Amino acid sequence: MSNNDKAKFAFYWASSCGGCEIAVVDIDAVILDVAALGDIVFWPCATDFKYKDVEGYDDGFIDITFFNGAIRNDHEEHVAKLLRQKSKVMIAFGACSGLGGIPGLGNFYTTEELFQQAFEHSPSTVNPDNVRPQPSYDVPEGTVTIPAILDSVRALDQVVQVEYYIPGCPPQPQWIAAAVTAYAEGKLPPPGAVIAGESTVCDECPREKSDEKSITEIKRIHLVENDPEKCLLEQGIMCCGPATRSGCEAACVVAGQACRGCFGPTDEVVDMGAKLVSSIASIAVPETQEEIDALMAQVDDPAGYFYRFSLPTSMLFRSIHDMTEGQ
Ligand code: SF4
Ligand code: SF4
Ligand code: SF4
């Protein structure tokens, strides 16, 4: 039960896979620090607080809200605004909340295209009457409503003001602990800070880098053998390390996989996709435009590679479709 002396914490998931919720319960002994510091006053995944409980709190009643997931529908937008009103500090927790994340890849398509895929064309769908979800539907017992999909996926700070960001897909325990400890000690950084490293994954990566022009072809990591001592990118394997914020100790690369960029861009990187293209270009052997075009054409799913976690907060935000095309 909450009392007036302890800090109040809230956790919420919007458009989320649930992995960030798992990360919260995976913080080991730090969970005891959280319990000692404060009470949880809202956590739909794990507790039975209701939205009306939150509506009844005074403005600023919640000390910190850890908000994971992107904003995909009008309910999530409403709850983000409600929690903002009731919280002193909002933390965008995880790549989806901070950058738009995997749900943000939906911005490459119109809502109609997404609905067509989900409710007509997907191999597991049988829907001869082309039934689509209706935000509001009348039944004898009354009106049933469900959240309405918004035109674009947005990161949390594109909907409400955010004080801090804990990056990652999902965030790692040490950075959750760092945020909780900083709060407990009154040492939170200036608003706007990303609670993680300040350099790049490449700076933490133990693989040997030569900075020599070495890419002659683009390879997929699961289809080739790679030299475990050498930089993956220099071997032609797409790795997002040069554009990605440090703090994970190059976890994926150390485990034998390429970095996918889940910690998001560093403060110096304006657009992850642009930075990654320039990183490849700087060590690519081909020099003429034709040769470079041919090399880049070998990148499977370039949009998903260059903007896997950051499309809504990139310079692109979303792709624009001419809805009159084909009519
Ligand atoms: S950041 Fe990753 S783990 Fe967290 S909700 Fe998004 S996809 Fe899931
Ligand atoms: S590009 Fe990838 S493999 Fe190469 S140094 Fe950076 S993180 Fe390591
Ligand atoms: S190596 Fe890259 S993808 Fe893997 S945890 Fe670190 S930032 Fe995320």
Taking Cα atoms as reference points, which of 26, 58, 24, 29 lies closest to residue 40? 24
Highest mean pLDDT among 80-94, 176-190, 291-305: 80-94
Cα 129 to averaged position of ligand 1 atoms, centre (Å)? 34
The string of DSSP letters for 67-96 reads: EESBEEEHHHHHHHHHHHHHEEEEEEESHH
Ligand 1, from 67, 72, 96: best to mutate by most atoms within 8 Å of Cβ? 96
Q: Stretch 44-59: mean pLDDT, rounded?
A: 95
Q: To the nearest whole percent, how much of the chain has pLDDT over 90?
A: 81
Cα 68 to averaged position of ligand 1 atoms, centre (Å)? 7
Alpha helices in the chain (DSSP H): 19-25, 30-37, 51-56, 74-86, 95-99, 111-116, 173-184, 201-204, 251-254, 272-282, 289-296, 302-306
Contacts 24+ apart (CB under 8 A), 27-33: 27/173, 27/176, 27/177, 28/173, 30/173, 30/176, 30/177, 30/180, 33/177, 33/180, 33/181, 33/184
Query: What's the whole-model pTM score?
Result: 0.93
Place domain 7-102+151-184 in its CATH homologous superfamily: NADH:ubiquinone oxidoreductase-like, 20kDa subunit (3.40.50.700)
Q: Stretch 36-52: mean pLDDT, rounded?
A: 91
The finding on whether 7 has its CB within 6 A of some atom of ligand 2 is no
Q: Stretch 300-319: mean pLDDT, rounded?
A: 93
Ligand 3, from 199, 205, 232, 262: best to mutate by most atoms within 8 Å of Cβ? 262
Q: Is pLDDT above 90 for 73? A: yes
Q: Is pLDDT above 90 for 255? A: yes
The finding on whether 259 has its CB within 6 A of some atom of ligand 3 is yes
What pLDDT does 4 receive?
60
Cα 305 to averaged position of ligand 1 atoms, centre (Å)? 17
Closest ligand 3 atom to Cα of 249: 6
Q: Stretch 252-277: mean pLDDT, rounded?
A: 96
**Gap between the Cα atoms of 11 and 25, Å rounded:** 11
In the structure, what pLDDT confidence band is assigned to residue 117 with cuts at 50, 70 and 90?
A: very high
**Gap between the Cα atoms of 27 and 173, Å rounded:** 5
Ligand 1, from 102, 172, 311: best to mutate by most atoms within 8 Å of Cβ? 102
Q: Is pLDDT above 90 for 35? A: no
What digits encode the pLDDT tens for the residues 119-148? Answer: 999 999 999 999 999 999 999 999 999 999
Which DSSP state fits 58?
P
CA separation, residue 247 to residues 107, 280, 287 (Å): 28, 22, 34
What pLDDT does 324 receive?
53
Nearest CA to ligand 3 atom 4: 252
User: Largest Cα–Cα distance of the chain, in whole Å?
Assistant: 71
Token code pair at residue 176: 């959750």
The finding on whether 167 has its CB within 6 A of some atom of ligand 1 is no
In the structure, what pLDDT confidence band is assigned to residue 1 with cuts at 50, 70 and 90?
A: very low
Taking Cα atoms as reference points, which of 252, 262, 302 lies closest to residue 99? 262
What pLDDT does 321 receive?
67
The finding on whether 260 has its CB within 6 A of some atom of ligand 3 is yes
Taking Cα atoms as reference points, which of 253, 246, 289 lies closest to residue 268? 246
Q: What are the sequence ranges of the domains in the chain?
A: 7-102+151-184, 116-149, 201-313
The finding on whether 201 has its CB within 6 A of some atom of ligand 2 is yes
Q: To the nearest whole percent, how much of the chain has pLDDT over 70?
A: 97
CA atoms lying within 13 Å on the CB side of residue 37: 20
Q: Is pLDDT above 90 for 246? A: yes
Q: Is pLDDT above 60 for 325? A: no
Q: Stretch 303-314: mean pLDDT, rounded?
A: 95
Q: Stretch 45-74: mean pLDDT, rounded?
A: 96
The finding on whether 80 has its CB within 6 A of some atom of ligand 3 is no
What pLDDT does 2 receive?
45
Residue 313 phi/psi, 5-degree rounding, is -105, 10
